[in-house]
Amino acid sequence: MPEAPKPKKISRAGAHDVRIEWSTGEDVVYPARFLRTSCPCASCIDEMTGKKILQESLLPVLIYPTKIEPVGQYAIQLYFSDNHSTGIYTWERLYDLKDKIPASPEA
């Protein structure tokens, strides 16, 4: 069974976004707002139903991580400019999210 992908490097992409270089060779830029709206914490996702309860329309237009901290060897915790910091983004979740990043309007 092949080993699950893991980040080789996590850094900023521009002023607000997050870049992850994966062990698979993929280099992915995660838009800051996309990461915030994908938060897996109990304040954003109902723990019983799995339904999103975060009201995206109430978030500031410009939102970005102010800090990125490792959580053990399996995840990162993002601290956002709207003072939200309870989501833990596992490697598995981040790798799955890469295929859900919306296309930029310029594309």
| Nearest CA-CA partner of 7 in 90, 64, 86 | 90
Domain 32-100 fold is: NE0471 N-terminal domain-like (3.30.2020)
Average pLDDT, the chain: 94
Decide if 46 contacts 54 (C-beta within 8 A).
Answer: no
Decide if 24 contacts 5 (C-beta within 8 A).
Answer: yes
* Structural domain spans, the chain: 32-100
pLDDT grade, residue 87 (50/70/90)? very high
Is the pLDDT score of 9 beyond 80? yes
Q: What pTM does this model have? A: 0.92
Helices in 1-107 by DSSP H: which ranges? 32-37, 91-97
Decide if 28 contacts 19 (C-beta within 8 A).
Answer: yes
